[in-house]
Every structure is written in structure tokens, then in C-alpha cells.
Structure 1
Amino acid sequence: MSGFLDGQIRRAGEKRGFAVMRLLTHWNEIVGDDTARMAHPVDVGYGREGFGATLTVLCTGSSAPLVQQMLPQIREKVNACYGYSAISRVRVTQTAPVGFSEGQMSFDTAPKQKAPPAPHVISASKELASDVESDGLRRALEQLGQNVMARKTNT
């Protein structure tokens, strides 16, 4: 099934200028999770002179200034994906080329799962907060203790 769809997906991507499909399928890995939450690639356009292409990224209005500041890093990372200096410009847009309603998409990526704290960390935090009478305050202090002790063991 994937072999059958691979050619169709490639043709559809090439219509939008994405000669390297990895740019679309692995966007989070190429530019990083923080940038991927703010911007998505929508088009690669080639100018008349043929001196490099322009990558258009879609972002929300509130994140546009941050994305604008990151354009040189985005261009470097995308060119590393292509393997040569294919992209000479990165342009920011706040509307998708298909229209306003279709361009409203979620930029959230799946949050990373935190590993549960080690059993000795849980028992130590419960022991430290055991003297507190208020249940809510005790649970909050236990959680704070677990976070601090887990951070110390990871560094």
C-alpha cells in the first residue's frame, strides 16, 4: 500500500515545489519542535532567474515576529535537509494559499511524555512533606519535592 501511495504523494508534493518529501514528513525533526509549533511549510517557489528557491512557511499572527527572527536558522536547517543550498529565501505568511478557512490549522505537536519519578524520589518527597496538615499543601509540596529531586538526578 505504501509503495502504491508513494508515487502519488511525491507527485502531489512536487506540484507544491517540495522535491524532497522529507521536508514535509519530518518538519519537526528538521527545524525542531519549538519552531514546528509556530510554523509549517506550505510552498517552495522557484524564481525566474533560477538562483535558489523561496520557502513559504505558514504561521499564526502572534508567532510571526518570532518566526521572522528565526528565518536564517530555518533556511540553514532546510538546506541541510536538501543537502545543498536549494533555498535562498524563507518567506512568512499568515494565510494558506488555499484560502482563509483551510489555512486555519492547529500548530500543536504531541507533548512529550514525562517519565514517572523514581520510587525513592516519591518516598523521599512524601517523607519531607509528612508534617504538613493541609492535604492540598502537602500534595503540592510532595510534587515540588519530586520535581526538584528528579531534576537533580538528571543533571
Structure 2
Amino acid sequence: MSKSAAGYINKILDPLLAKRAGVSTALITAWGEIVGHDLAEMSMPVKVRWPARIDEDDAFQPGTLLVAAEGMAALHLQHQTGEVIDRVNAFMGYRAIARIKLTQKPVEKKKPKKRLKPITEGEKRKINRLADGIEDEALKESLKRFGQSVIRDKK
């Protein structure tokens, strides 16, 4: 049975994230379904802070979910804290979170890359003419690629 690349990546990243931040890629990915897509655009889970356990035999204590949120999203999340905790715990499958701590700061989401328009044959010929006098082949090819990227950026 074939698995997706995301499945393999999550297998590798989840233990690292859990150890470093106490948060899994699954929680980050599902954040939109947990809080709603409008709030997810302006917030994201950052870390789970677990209470210190003195002994291995100590009872499990739920942690605190640290969430970064922008402006109004922080206010909305503050008012919906109980519901968000319930949804996160339902997602995790156990009572993992007891409280949420909000940090108001800008949240950067990766924006999809713009599709670059192809370069016309005339533009390619112009770039090749400009690079004709260069003897070093590696430098010549680098300058051609640079010229193409400049033209694409102008489009």
C-alpha cells in the first residue's frame, strides 16, 4: 500500500515537534477545523507546555496550549476558550489541554507561490544575444537564468 509523502514527513516531524514544542503537525494542520477557517487565518498553535512531573508515577496532568493570534482573533479565541479546549481535546482523543494561553502577535502563513509566466522566444533570443560575448560557459548560463528571472519578475 503506498503512503503519501506527507505521511512520511509527519512520521519524522511529529516526534521532533512533540519533543521540542509538544505540538504535532496533525494539530497544526487541523487548526482550521478546530477553530474555524476565519480564525485559523489569524492564529496558530505554537506549543504545548506540560506541567513538570517529579516522578514517573505522578498522575498525568493536562497541559497549556500556547496560541499566537492577531488582533481580533485573540479576542475571539479568548471568548471561545472553553469550546476550543473541548475541540482540541476531542481531536487529540484525550484530555490533553486544560487551558489556553494567547500571545498577541502577527501570524505568518505561507502564501502560495505565484505561477510565473513563460518567457517568449523573442525574450530568450534577446537574453542569448546579450550573453554571447561571455567566454566562461558557467557564467554565461548563470547570467541567462538571471536574465530570465528578471524578465519573469517584471511580468
TM-score (norm 2): 0.55
Task: Give the CA RMSD over aligned residues.
Answer: 2.5
Greater Rg over alpha carbons, structure: 2
- Whether 1:27 and 2:31 are equivalent positions in the alignment is yes
C-alpha distance in 2, partners of 1:44/1:87?
A: 8
Alignment-derived partner of residue 77 in structure 2:
67
Structure 1: gaps spanning 5 or more residues: 96-102, 109-155
- Whether 1:8 and 2:12 are equivalent positions in the alignment is yes
- TM-superposed deviation, 1:58: 0.7
Q: In the alignment, which of 59, 68, 93 is matched to residue 83 of structure 1? A: 93
Q: Encode CA deviations 1:29-80: one digit per residue, 9 max, x unaligned.
A: 2222133123210111101255210001110134322221011111010000
Asked if 2 retains the 8 angstrom alpha-carbon contact of 1:38 and 1:63, the reply is yes
- TM-superposed deviation, 1:22: 1.8
TM-score (norm 1): 0.55
C-alpha distance in 1, partners of 2:12/2:94?
A: 25
Alignment size in residue pairs: 100
- TM-superposed deviation, 1:4: 4.6
Change (3 A) 1:11 1:35: same
Alignment-derived partner of residue 41 in structure 2:
37
Question: 5 Å matches for 1:44-63?
Answer: 44-48=48-52, 50-63=60-73
Aligned AA for 2:44?
H
Change (3 A) 1:22 1:106: closer
Asked if 2 retains the 8 angstrom alpha-carbon contact of 1:17 and 1:43, the reply is yes
Identical-residue share of aligned pairs (%):
31
Structure 2: gaps spanning 5 or more residues: 54-59, 112-155
